[in-house]
Amino acid sequence: MSFSEIPVVDLSQADTNRAQLLHQIRHALIEVGFLLLTNYQDYGPTREDIAAITEQAEEFFKLPQSVKDGCSMIHSKHFLGYTRLANEITAGRIDWREQIDLATELPAPPEDAPIYRNIEGPNLWPDEKAAPKFRPVVLHWIDKMTQLSTYFRQLVCEALGIDKGAMEGYFKENQQCKMKIVAYPDAGALTSNDGQSKPDGQGVGPHRDSDFLTYIHQATPHTCLEVQNFQGEWIPVENVPNTLVVNVGQTLEAITQGVCKATIHRVITPKSGSGTRISIPFFSTIDLDARKAALGLPDEVLKLRDERDKLIDKWAVDVGFQFSPDLAKYPVGRAVFQNRIKSHQDVAQKWWPEIYKEVMSQF
């Protein structure tokens, strides 16, 4: 049978019961694709850091629309910045969310770099006078989450039965990580001009993440994130205080020959009257120039993959077209860039019109 709940992984076992911890991580990566990570504060953000980023997220969405528009993604060829409500597309439908995309602060790539390297570049920030604490708190959060993700990927390697440094070749010294701060209005706020509810509202439509691993801080008490198990059932991700939701991305799935599973998930619109849901996902990514390399995965984990895949006839929901990493043919950055083109079509048409036409012709 497929999974019916999201497993909890207690990182405090790293020193006291490492074998049990690695077993739990292996199970979550292979059989579920999701886990709830608890007691991670010694390796990443503290409770104080969580409170600070939550406060800044709430304050950001209270800013005047003109201030938020001042750091709009339309001004960034690197797909960084603010996106208004209902301006992103997943599985061919509008997402009813408002967000700002941020990343490790990096310069724009050289002009002669491959085009996909333009995923990297400087952030767009709200006006400092309007949001004086936003930038330092966000950059600190990125630093702390980068520390946590670096440590956790070593545990991933150990859990899969390979050397803890086996994946380090996929990451460069100043590796870009990404994050979003996202607001999902409740259903009562999603009304059309005639006062009727907007049809077919989705927070985020069914999809699989394209990164290495995603770490989500659910900043409000809503339970809106759902994961599809291998029988097509939607399993709610319980919003457990002081945990991070961790899920496998398609890049990690590709690197591990399908052993780690990038599971389909979605965000449903919060119920009317429940208030706005705020979520802060952090995306651990690999070097955009990375290609496939042999990891030497043991036969026992490959067997677990094969047994699991017997359960999956086909996904029970259409996630629409997504570019999946094909590291045997192309650097990972190619698929990442194509998916950004598809998701943020207004930005793509402004900055990358020829590539936009090419990408849109493929789905």
pTM assigned to the model: 0.94
Q: Is the pLDDT of residue 333 over 50?
A: yes
Is residue 132 domain-resident?
yes
pLDDT at 203: 86
Tell which wins on pLDDT, 227 or 317.
Answer: 227
CB 235 within 8 A of CB 4: yes
- Kindly report the CATH number assigned to the domain that includes residue 245: 2.60.120.330
Length of the chain, in residues: 363
pLDDT band at residue 94 using 50, 70 and 90 as cut-offs:
confident
pLDDT value of position 212: 97
Q: Which residue range is the domain that position 36 belongs to?
A: 8-360
Domain count across the chain: 1
> Each residue of 139-192: pLDDT tens digit?
999 999 999 999 999 999 999 999 999 999 999 999 999 999 999 999 998 865
75 near 124, Cβ under 8 Å? Answer: yes
pLDDT reported for residue 66: 98
Cα separation, 81 vs 331, whole angstroms: 25
Q: Which two tokens stand for residue 287?
A: 């070097």
Q: Which two tokens stand for residue 343?
A: 């998701």
Q: Residue 2 domain-assigned?
A: no
Query: Does 339 map to a domain?
Result: yes
Q: What are phi and psi of 310, to 5 degrees?
A: -65, -25
Each residue's pLDDT tens digit, 41-59 = 999 999 999 999 999 999 9
Any domain includes 307:
yes
In a domain, 89, yes or no: yes
1 within some domain: no
